[in-house]
Amino acid sequence: MHDSRIERKWFTDWLASWRDKDVIKVVTGIRRCGKTTLLELFRERLANDGVPVDSIISLNFEDPDCASFASWREAWEFIKPGIKQTGKTYIFLDEVQNVPEFEKLVDGLYSRKNLDVYITGSNAKFLSGELATFLTGRYVEIRLQPLYFAEYLTLFPKHDAHAVFNDFLRFGGFPFAAQLANGSRSQHDYLSGILDTILYKDVMARNGYRDAATLKRIVRFLFDNIGNLLSVNKIVGMFKSEGFSVPHATLDTYIDALCQTFLLDRVDRYDIKGRQYLKTTAKYYIADMGLRRTLLGTKGEDFGHLLENAVYLELRRRFREIYVGVLNDGEVDFVTIENGIPCYFQVAYTVRSETTLARELSPLKSIRDNHPKFLLTLDNDPPLDHGGIKRLNIVDFLLDSWRE
């Protein structure tokens, strides 16, 4: 039988790097991005490394075939008989937030020194509140996302990378959707199902919200404005101009709930010269461009912002901290900070025009430090250097082939 799973080596390597270390391994990410498959792949890696099958306990709390638990203690009593008295037992708990007071279960498992624990969750809130209090300093987190471009490209080994990238921009990288015909009814229906589940189960039902029409309007607006600077006041004002009224507090709460599901990311501004974080306005990027197309179709498709979104998702994989760079006389699309060291990225469709090239380079040139600076475009040119600013093709950057 053909194995249609996609190897997520970058992520399984991360799990392997933390194997048997005294921390809980936490995998977060949007629904259907592959968290369950990732744990399956890692369990197979353990088995290949000689870990006995009976030393691995795995529960998926969203699987209808999984036992249902009314309390965390019931789950503990179910798991306990399978724990080996000698040697290491590996525990995998998928979508653990579905267990009542799951943080007590996780904390109890962590306290047993012969266990190596791996958990997943589809909502950022499960790493806040009580779980964070219980596990402060005792867990490491990695955020899984739909296929990043290098993974997506492996599905089309005989195709030109630039042509595949155009499809990636339009149809996104959810693992199962990527294996359906692009633009097909089945792909559209699958992505619509993901979006509806997130909106109605993860946002509305989980938080007790009732106004589906308002939520859908907010989502459509944010999807249509990826990469634009926004504030709650600005969004409320734009809605009012269309004859639609929504309270500031409601809007703020709904947007926060959407971000908690990993459907959207809020990217705050960073004052490059003042080294200050600015909270008044922000940009939003979507976890997968296919969801945007599913909701909005091709109407008003802004190719420049789609490119920004694709670069953002790659940076999100590579870096923990990402901001919009603010200067007195301009803006840098992204500033990443790793170990206190900034790196600057400007994204443009093309800079073949001298005027456009000068405009895109200007903000980067005004930054007086010697940290890395990149101008990423779709121009099919070899890497160039503009006074220390590296100009790269976006596809090469996403594939990391420019380093070779």
Q: Please check whether residue 186 lies inside any domain of the structure.
A: yes
Q: Please check whether residue 74 lies inside any domain of the structure.
A: yes
**CA angle (149, 284, 249) in 5-degree steps:** 150
**DSSP track, 203-255:** IIIHHT---HHHHHHHHHHHHHTTTS-B-HHHHHHHHHHTT----HHHHHHHH
Radius of gyration of the chain (CA): 22
The pLDDT assigned to 67 comes to 75
Choice among 121-125, 132-136, 200-204, 285-289 with the minimum mean pLDDT: 132-136
Is the same domain home to 297 and 282? yes
Is the same domain home to 273 and 387? yes
Q: Please check whether residue 89 lies inside any domain of the structure.
A: yes
User: Does residue 194 carry a pLDDT above 60?
Assistant: yes
The pLDDT assigned to 401 comes to 64
pTM tops 0.85, yes or no: yes
Choice among 292-306, 333-347, 359-373 with the minimum mean pLDDT: 292-306
Edge to edge, the sheet with strand 139-143 lists 56-60, 89-94, 115-121, 24-28, 139-143
Q: Please check whether residue 399 lies inside any domain of the structure.
A: yes
The pLDDT assigned to 1 comes to 33
Is the same domain home to 88 and 192? no
The pLDDT assigned to 191 comes to 98
Is the same domain home to 120 and 241? no
Share of the chain above pLDDT 90, in %: 84
Q: Residues 246-298: pLDDT tens digits?
A: 999 999 999 999 999 999 999 999 999 877 888 889 999 999 999 999 999 98
> In the structure, what pLDDT confidence band is assigned to residue 129 with cuts at 50, 70 and 90?
low
Is the same domain home to 122 and 31? yes
Q: How far apart are CA 257 and CA 199, in angstroms?
A: 9
What is the mean pLDDT of the segment spanning 96-106? 91
Picking from 110, 143, 176, the residue at the C-terminal end of a domain is 143
**DSSP track, 49-86:** TT--GGGEEEEETT-TTSPP-SSHHHHHHHHGGGS-SS
Is the same domain home to 133 and 162? no
Picking from 94, 112, 143, the residue at the C-terminal end of a domain is 143
Is the same domain home to 196 and 305? yes
User: Does residue 302 carry a pLDDT above 90?
Assistant: no
Q: Please check whether residue 2 lies inside any domain of the structure.
A: no
198 DSSP 8-state letter: I
Is the same domain home to 153 and 98? no
Tell which phi-psi region holds residue 204, choosing left (phi > 0), alpha (psi between -120 and 50) or beta. Answer: alpha
What is the mean pLDDT of the segment spanning 309-319? 96
Point out which residues pair with 286 in neighbouring strands.
264
Q: Residues 6-43: pLDDT tens digits?
A: 989 999 999 999 999 999 999 999 999 999 999 999 99
Q: Residues 38-65: pLDDT tens digits?
A: 999 999 999 999 999 999 999 999 888 8
Q: How far apart are CA 264 and CA 222, in angstroms?
A: 9
> In the structure, what pLDDT confidence band is assigned to residue 90 with cuts at 50, 70 and 90?
very high
Q: What is the CATH number of the domain that holds 112?
A: 3.40.50.300
Q: Domain count of the chain?
A: 2
Is the same domain home to 131 and 173? no
Q: How far apart are CA 226 and CA 293, in angstroms?
A: 12
User: Does residue 155 carry a pLDDT above 80?
Assistant: yes
Q: How far apart are CA 117 and CA 103, in angstroms?
A: 13
Q: Is the dihedral of CA 181, 295, 121, 82 positive or negative?
A: negative
Is the same domain home to 330 and 224? yes
Is the same domain home to 201 and 331? yes
140 DSSP 8-state letter: E
What is the mean pLDDT of the segment spanning 211-227? 96
Picking from 114, 143, 172, the residue at the C-terminal end of a domain is 143
Is the same domain home to 84 and 157? no
Q: Please check whether residue 171 lies inside any domain of the structure.
A: yes
Q: Is the dihedral of CA 73, 143, 128, 114 positive or negative?
A: positive
Look up residue 365 and give its two tokens: 């040139």
Q: Please check whether residue 4 lies inside any domain of the structure.
A: no
Q: Which domain holds residue 130?
A: 9-143
**Taking a C-beta distance cutoff of 8 angstroms, is the pair 116, 19 a contact?**
yes
What is the mean pLDDT of the segment spanning 135-160? 92
- The overall average pLDDT reported for the chain is 93
